[in-house]
Amino acid sequence: MSGRFDVGDTVRVRAAHPPGHVRTPHFIRGKSGRIVDFMGAYRNPEELAYGRPGTPDIPLYRVLFNQTEVWPDYAGSVTDTTVVDIYEHWLEPAEKG
């Protein structure tokens, strides 16, 4: 299975705040990053947490974020990054421009 995004694509994490068991860290929601790896497709852990089957499988990506994008007051180097694994249903194409 391949995913909607390709390595190198710029994406934005949805700024959603649904109730319940969510696997996307709060601090990364609404932020833009770049796909650096496609990890495969896996059962949805947000559904599995409630004893449901977690199907269909969902693509999982490794997304690289600049620390200054994640933390506006970040005092480290502008080249510092963090990587977060994020399921496709949390990602959308980043706006161009």
Q: What is the pLDDT of residues 37-85, one digit of tens each?
A: 999 999 998 899 889 999 999 999 999 999 999 998 999 999 999 999 9
Q: What is the pTM of this model?
A: 0.91
Mean pLDDT across 1-19: 90
List strands edge to edge, sheet with 32-42. 81-87, 58-66, 32-42, 10-13, 91-93
Collapsing DSSP states into helix, strand and coil, what is residue 26? helix
CATH code assigned to 10-93: 2.30.30.50
